[in-house]
Structure 1
Amino acid sequence: MSRPGYIFLTCPDAELLHNRITEILESNKASDFEKKVYWADDELPSQFWDDLTLQTLFGSSKAIILRRAHTLKVATWKTLDKALSSLSESSFLFLCLEGKWDKKGAPVPAVLKKRNCWKYAEKQKWFWNSAGLDEKSITGFVNKWSAQNSIIMDNAVKHALTKALPKDARAAKLELDKLELAAGPEKKLLMDHLSLIAFSEEMNFFEFMSSMSQGGDPVEIWRRVLTNHMEKDSMIFMLTASLTREARALWMMLHGEDSSVRLPPFVKKQKAALAQRIGAARIAKIFDIVMEAEIGIKTGNRRPDQALELLVAALTNLFAIQPSNRRR
């Protein structure tokens, strides 16, 4: 048998596991194998063991995927070790170790390292490791997506995209699917397109600018904005892209270019009112604040978290209502 009988895949991200299994099956000309998925959280049924060791009636081949294999008990690993020594040639087993990685590296259970199946897999290099998406691997994820879909983008757009995407492959894929549609037939991804990346329900920049311009509590408003992203490095790039897009729309409305702003009528009416309330000077200042933050990061004068804090402070000050202007 030219292909491996089984492979250990150590990765906490389900979408990356799915993608890698698909690639392995394709590279081994096994895409047509019947896929059978089992979960190690539950007691493995007799059918699982039959799939490993018995030929099917019509000789068809099976790709057996054991999810969350890192949760298997000692006794089960012992039984599985024996079963793999007599693995059917028609079976291709994928053992998914989905524990969270730590500083020591791949979270391989100690009990597994003692088993012959693991030692043999290491010798044959029947394993694949990935810590999931992070600041480094997200670039490769984006490059692969753009190559597969013939998407072109400037380096600045790619950098902003890698910072803005969620570090979960399934969530990131959903966002990239939207961006592919936005890129249109030209397949050209622009900075403005990045504003399509989903925020949570609370992440609404029109709402926060409207609230700030009416004297809303800046502490509460910014708490709602900032707590939607745990990683400030990602947050700053999405914030600048969204603020620029929002400010551009407000500026156009304020200067009679409403027809160029493609929004539902009721939304356009709300934004037109906001533009009048904020005024040209403060809208223009938003562009200056955003540019200062981006230049600070690109020149290395500021870390992303520093730029974010300064941007937040500048916007809070910009929208602050002086006591004499507050309603009494």
Structure 2
Amino acid sequence: MARPGFSILVCPDPELIKQQVRRLLADGGFDRRVHFGDEGLDQDFWTDLGSPGLLGGNKALVLRRAEKLPADQVRSLTPQLGGFNDACWPIFCLEGPWEKKKPRIPAHWKKEKFWSVAERKGWLWQSPGLDRAGVERMAREWAEARGITVPRELAREFSSRLPPDAAAVASELDKLELALGERRELAREDLDLLAPPEEGLEIWAVLDALTKGQAGAGVWREVLRHRTSSESLLFPLLAGLTRDARQMWMILHGENPGLPGWLADKKAPVAKRLGVAGLRRLFRLALEAEVRVKTGEMKEEQALQHLVSDLGSLASAPGGRG
């Protein structure tokens, strides 16, 4: 089958993007060159686009994070993609987040003629990333490829312990394979080796509900009820709250918070609903609770009650949602 003149890959999961590139180039014979859209199209990119591969062979020119390219640079690609280049296969990877299961593609990409050509000829590949079914499939294929038996009673728990992020899944499965050694059957205690859910996720989930106006202080009390009573609740809660607020502040300002892509995408709508004013209020509430305890103004239990009450009214406060 003849290769495409160029390919466009649209997916928010970088690992799935890499896997798709590997599938496209599986037949071999391509000298792969990788560039990044957030660095712009420099002279090395244009040289790679216009010259043959190593020793005169074919070349695959992969542009990662292509959604970061400004409109004028996307426009400059159009003349280059108007004809078939035997020596070079351009592959453009748009890795921005999706919204409501649809890709958020920059308008200046879609208006270029080569985009409609890719759609018409089937040169456009799109994937929303891993869902739970995709995670289950990865876990099943991993076990089958290695001859590892997963007892039926463990299968669902096994896949549910894996995050919907392909790179994270691969990392967890590599760790599990190393621990299994020569054993070929998964045991329940092996699942304890898998990473726990992202710290602060339940706090983020409550903030999500609060900013949607779906919950009040009662939901915080429910969260706290499930935590162990043998240790202080206030300071672990403050640590999780400030961590989530810091991550959402970075997301709101276009910075990388160091989270898996799937989790950053989940937190982004909450950050937008809170806005700058709401996030500042989160930091202030956490600081006030800490100061009240350390100055002796309140005991931990009292400060905790005040914090829960204040957070419960966060969404309805003037300016509290940005």
TM-score (norm 2): 0.60
The code of the aligned residue for 1:14 comes to P
The code of the aligned residue for 2:37 comes to A
Count of residues in Structure 1 that have an aligned counterpart in Structure 2: 219
List gaps (5 residues or longer) in structure 1.
204-210, 230-328
Partner residue of 1:96 out of 87, 93, 96? 93
State the distance in 2 between where 1:146 and 1:222 align. 38
State the distance in 1 between where 2:191 and 2:62 align. 35
1:54·1:88 contact (CA, 8 Å) conserved in 2? Answer: no
State the distance in 2 between where 1:157 and 1:61 align. 47
The structure with more radius of gyration: 1
Q: CA deviation at 1:68?
A: 0.8
When residues 227 and 147 of structure 1 are mapped into structure 2, their CA distance, relative to the original with a 3 A threshold, is: farther
- Over the matched positions of the two proteins, sequence identity in percent amounts to 34
Aligned to 2:62: 65
Q: CA deviation at 1:137?
A: 2.1
Two-structure CA RMSD over aligned residues (Å) = 3.2
| CA displacement 1:196-218 (0-9 Å, x = unmatched) | 01348979xxxxxxx969x4225
State the distance in 2 between where 1:179 and 1:163 align. 15
| CA displacement 1:147-175 (0-9 Å, x = unmatched) | 33332202332211221112222122111
Q: Which runs of 4 or more aligned residues in structure 1 lie more than 6 Å from their structure 2 counterparts after TM superposition?
A: 200-203, 222-229
Aligned to 2:205: none
1:172 aligns with 2:169: yes
The code of the aligned residue for 1:2 comes to A
1:85 aligns with 2:82: yes
State the distance in 2 between where 1:163 and 1:62 align. 40
Q: Secondary structure at the match of 1:152?
A: coil
Aligned to 1:263: none
Partner residue of 1:55 out of 47, 52, 76? 52
State the distance in 2 between where 1:175 and 1:192 align. 15
1:10·1:107 contact (CA, 8 Å) conserved in 2? Answer: no
2:161·2:197 contact (CA, 8 Å) conserved in 1? Answer: no
Q: Secondary structure at the match of 1:136?
A: helix
Q: Secondary structure at the match of 1:188?
A: coil
1:130 aligns with 2:123: no
Partner residue of 1:33 out of 30, 35, 49? 30
Aligned to 1:106: 103
| CA displacement 1:225-282 (0-9 Å, x = unmatched) | 99999xxxxxxxxxxxxxxxxxxxxxxxxxxxxxxxxxxxxxxxxxxxxxxxxxxxxx
Q: Secondary structure at the match of 2:46?
A: helix
1:52·1:88 contact (CA, 8 Å) conserved in 2? Answer: no
Partner residue of 2:232 out of 195, 198, 217? 217
State the distance in 1 between where 2:145 and 2:71 align. 42
